[in-house]
Amino acid sequence: MPRKTKVLSGLAAAAVAWHLFAGIAFIRSAAPAAGEPAQLAGGYSCLVTGSCLMNAAQSPRLAELLSALPLTALKPRSFISHPYFANVMPHAFGDLFLYQNSVPAERLLNTSRYFTFFLWTFLFILFLYILAAGLGGTDAALAAVIIFCFMPVFLASDTRASTDAAAAAFFLGAVAAAFRFCRQPAAAAVLKKKSRPVEGRFLFRWAALAGLLAGLAMASGFSMVSLAPLIAGLWLADAYLNRGLKPRRVAWYTVVFLAQAGFIVALVYRFRPGLYLEEFSAALSGLGQARSYFVWGHYPTGGAWWSLPLAFAVKTPLAVLFLAGAGIFARFKKNREFLLWAAVPPAVYFVVLAGTGRPDYGHLLPIMPFAALAAGLGADHINKGRKYYLAAVGVLLSLSWGFLMFRAHPHYTAYFNELAGGPAGGYRFFVESALDRGQEIKTLAAYLEREGNPPVILSYFGAAHPENYGIKYVPLETSAYIELAGSGASVCATATETGGMKKLLLAVSATNLQGVYSPDKETFAWLKVRKPVFTAGYSIFLYDLTADRDGIERMAALFDREGRNAEADCLYKRAGAAER
């Protein structure tokens, strides 16, 4: 093994170790994100009863089943006799399953998270290495793995019970297996009818493996339905462009691939293909439903085509974008193989996804391994070509990348690159899936505990119970997935004294700060000119309004708007005694 390869191997091993450390730190710091309780409860009830109707995400069931699989060893209560289950109320059922179970909520949640995090990390690294090594050699593959390990999107997504990581990992695996099918030493001979039968059986296995992984992807995300025609088209294009192979021979293995993919989907759905089509149709209908989004100061109903390109631009480290651009440029004219297998799959997926206009950042995850792949090839090209000026730019961007990662640690959902102003500026561009899923309520609780645990007025977006983390709060303008009744704290009788005046604290989730689900998008606009005393993971803002007369009056008006006149009257009285 060359010395440089040995060094890269050592760096890759260290990068993987750091990735695991950072992922575990994120898991320990994060409360349940919106959708996680429903997914765990739905997956577990499906495993226990065979009934998989509790599908909050409107996605295929495989990811839910895998997330819930490790919970079978804990033997929690299933609550299948509860009305929430009978009436198919996924979020209420998820809340019941997580917070009122015989197994503590933290243990249930993190058992699932650890299992899926290690699973997806292993599969991503394996498939990425296989594809990158085939396209650029061992050194490029090791560089791609190192870059992958420092991309915050994987730390934030692979550590959650969601459908995104499963679909992305199997998507990458299917493309890697399909590429290996075409790049086996015997491939050309087999496809030109010059091979022995044993070589044909070997290619049959690669085609079947690609079909297996494609089927798993399709059973994890409905956006993966484009994978089957995509791989079939890639094989035909590869045969035409690179090897002059006979399309009829390629078509035979394409049939094997498609049959295997269909079999896997049918197996996951217990050979009820109509159910898959029914769920797929329901998901398509959901795309047509109007709902509000927040994208860079805009509220496009139903989304906007430019939201996902913008999310990719501000959430991907600039160093990765630079190195990926160098890799694509270096191979643009010389290597059609690279463009076919590393550029076409993410481009096709991106076009299909952008057509929905939904700014759900998790849906971009299948594209991210290909960004790491292109960046690894770009880093290898710069190193081998001794392009010192490009290397200098790459080093400077990497230092900035590292600094922003340090600032975000361990709150990797909040990572935004320099274009957005770093993690602190992210809420101005995106909230919800790209920043705020309610996971930082645990961080807020830790801060309040250090401050003597004063009560707060809380406008929360998420799926966690604040009182479960010791927060004393009064709910206001919430948009949570569950009903928040408060902890019993009183607006008029806060407990903490500060200079003779009772402290008045207001905590607002970023999603609510931007008014995503409020008819009045300016509900909390007045807070944007005020500096928070603390920001929990860059997504929950805590304001001290103790002496802020205007702020207290605005908050009183919000209580009035909700018909909570007693609290409003108390605050108006308080405002009269406050000085701005």
Give the tens place of pLDDT for each residue, 519-545.
Answer: 889 999 999 999 999 999 999 999 999
For tokens 């990797």, name the residue.
412
Packing angle of the helix pair 368-385, 388-408 (nearest 10 deg): 140
Q: Which of 175, 250, 239, 178 has its CA nearest to residue 207? A: 178
Q: Does 280 have pLDDT greater than 90?
A: no
What is the average per-residue pLDDT within 107-126? 96
Please compute, for residue 415, the number of CA atoms within 13 A of its CA located in the half-sphere on the CB side: 29
The predicted pLDDT at position 53 comes to: 75
Q: Which residues contact 351 (CB under 8 A, 6 or more apart)?
A: none
The tens digit of pLDDT for each residue in 112-121 reads: 999 999 999 9
Q: Which of 241, 232, 442, 463 is nearest to 345 (CA)?
A: 232
The answer to whether residue 198 scores a pLDDT higher than 50 is no
- Give the model's pLDDT for residue 356: 65
Residue 426 has pLDDT above 80, yes or no: yes
Which residues, other chains included, contact 86 with Cβ-Cβ below 8 Å and sequence gap of 6+?
Answer: none
Beta carbons of 428 and 297 less than 8 angstroms apart: yes
Residue 477 has pLDDT above 90, yes or no: no
Quick: pLDDT tens for 237-251.
887 776 555 667 788
Q: What is the mean pLDDT of residues 282-303?
A: 75
- State yes or no: pLDDT of 46 exceeds 80: yes
Q: Give the total residue count for the chain.
A: 580
Task: Give yes or no for a contact between 507 and 459, defined as CB atoms under 8 angstroms apart.
Answer: yes
Considering the chain, what is the average pLDDT of its residues? 87
Reported pTM: 0.92
Rounded average pLDDT over 182-189: 56
Candidates 248, 371, 249, 250; CA nearest to 318 is 371
Alpha carbon distances (Å) from 418 to 147, 350, 460, 578: 18, 23, 28, 39
Instruction: Kindly list the distances between the CA atom of residue 461 and the CA atoms of 224, 263, 303, 537, in Å, as whole numbers in the listed order.
Output: 29, 40, 20, 14
CB 338 within 8 A of CB 370: no
Q: What was the pLDDT predicted at 390? A: 77
pLDDT reported for residue 319: 94
pLDDT at 334 over 50: yes
Tell me which range, 202-216, 328-342, 497-511, is most confidently predicted by mean pLDDT. Answer: 202-216
What would the mean pLDDT of 205-220 be, rounded to a whole number?
Answer: 93
Left if phi > 0, otherwise alpha if psi is -120 to 50, otherwise beta: which for 548? beta
d(CA 6, CA 500): 66
CA-to-CA dists, residue 132 to 228, 279, 448, 525, angstroms: 21, 35, 47, 47
Percent of the chain beyond pLDDT 70? 90
Q: What is the Cα Rg of the chain in Å?
A: 26
d(CA 300, CA 246): 48
Q: What is the pLDDT of residue 278?
A: 76
